[in-house]
Chain A
Amino acid sequence: MIPAQFDYVRAGSLGEAVQELAADEDAKVLAGGQSLLPLLRLRLAYPSKLVDVGRLPELTGVHDRGDHVFIGAMATHDEVLRSGVVNADCPLVAQATATVADPAVRHRGTFGGSLAHCDPAGDLPAVVLALEGVFVARSAEGEREIPAAEFFVDYLESALGPGEVLVGVRLPKLGAGWGYHYEKFHRTAQSWATVGVAAAVKRSNGAIEEARIGLTNMGPTPVRARVVETALRGMQMGDDVRRACEEAAAGTSPPSDLHAQPDYRRHLARVLTHRAILHAAGSP
């Protein structure tokens, strides 16, 4: 199918991009286009203008910033996967990114683009939520920081304002003692996660000191499995962990769609959370 007409501007600078977006409320940011182009082709979106930020140097690259990793919004999934610092310090991001779409899509699709798209079935939102990343956004008013917990507002809706561009995401280096796992469940290799679980677990003296769990596709936004996180604190590995994970779906409102009903998704959240925790804790 064929997209409807739109204007196009390739922003020469972040300032110009912000101005273009502020001037036209129906304008949309074009990053890698891997989510947007199918929507345009199916005529599910009719932007008046696309502001192409794909080549802005301010938005590119993966940067080691000491206590955190800064991933530019326009870093492609492929770049993220190849990044030494991501693999060393944010391996959960690398694991989840490896499950995003397929190699060709990962060459074009961007880290920031897929987060800003706010699809709860996307793999990266739950990861950034679990890692408590901080989103950096720029508008005509300047730069602001948005904690992950506030970024995912609703289904396909982020906290970014109309004239605002995502610059990148700060991901804290959690340091030694942490283990990570992204457990994705889907019907075919191409299909979206029915449910996904992003887990980061810190162990000390055999016990779980801290666990962070982000759930993919268990509601209109990614969600934390807070009840499980709390229950796991201080717990030894064993049957108790399985019991704790039984609460993984607490407080979620999973969708009903072609691939699963809510009760099945709740069940999957429990099973997959347990598996993710075991993997992340290093004792699958």
Chain B
Amino acid sequence: MPRMAITVDGVKYEEEVEPRLLLVHLLRERLGKTGTPVGCDTSNCGACTVMLDGKSVKSCSVLAVQADGCDVVTIEGLGANGSMHPMQQAFHEEHALQCGYCTPGMVMAAIDLLRDNPDPSEDAIREGLEGNLCRCTGYCNIVRAVRRGAQEMGQAVRTS
């Protein structure tokens, strides 16, 4: 079995994995990172979105071996010192989640879309989230949360 190294939420792991093991199953079942859920098998829903070397990916559509040597950040690795990341906080403030199942992926996709566009328009937000399905919110409050999160993150950058 291939041996691989991976850093997840700041912790280094070395694992022997079957080639077919999906990254999301490595995270959930080997490393106990159950914060990242699985919602489909065709990469449509985006619930499993994580950051792989700083970019959003759908961890159900990446083999663990493809992530050998990479750095992964999951929803569990956001925030610091017990406080939530500004985007997580913004989702809370704007009631941008109901059942919460799409939320980890939605938050990761939201953070990713700000990499290129720190002050996105409503249309840009909607486009940036097109790979993440939510069945509860109708997206209205998610869009508002991403706007708020972007503003908060912009503030954070300016004041740091």
Contact = CB atoms under 8 A, between A and B. Distances in A.
Interface of A: 1-8, 10, 30, 33-34, 37-38, 40-42, 50, 52, 54, 78, 101-105, 107-108, 189-190
Contacts of A78: 55
Given A78-B55, A103-B130, 20 more contacts: A2-B20, A3-B20, A6-B19, A6-B20, A8-B19, A8-B65, A33-B61, A37-B62, A38-B42, A41-B60, A42-B41, A42-B42, A50-B63, A52-B65, A103-B131, A104-B109, A105-B61, A105-B131, A107-B56, A108-B62
Interface of B: 2, 18-20, 22, 41-44, 46, 49, 52, 55-58, 60-63, 65-66, 68, 109, 112-113, 127-128, 130-133
A208 to B, nearest CB: 31
B20 A40 contact: yes
Contacts of A5: 18-20
Contacts of A102: 46, 130-132
* Nearest 6 CB-CB pairings of A with B: A102-B131, A8-B19, A104-B56, A189-B130, A107-B55, A3-B20
A33 B63 contact: yes
Contacts of A40: 20
A104 B131 contact: yes
A50 B64 CA distance: 13
A10 B65 CA distance: 9
A42 B65 CA distance: 19
Residue of B56, B63, B113 with highest tally of chain A CB at under 10 A: B63
A55 to B, nearest CB: 9
A103 B113 CA distance: 8
Nearest to A49: B19
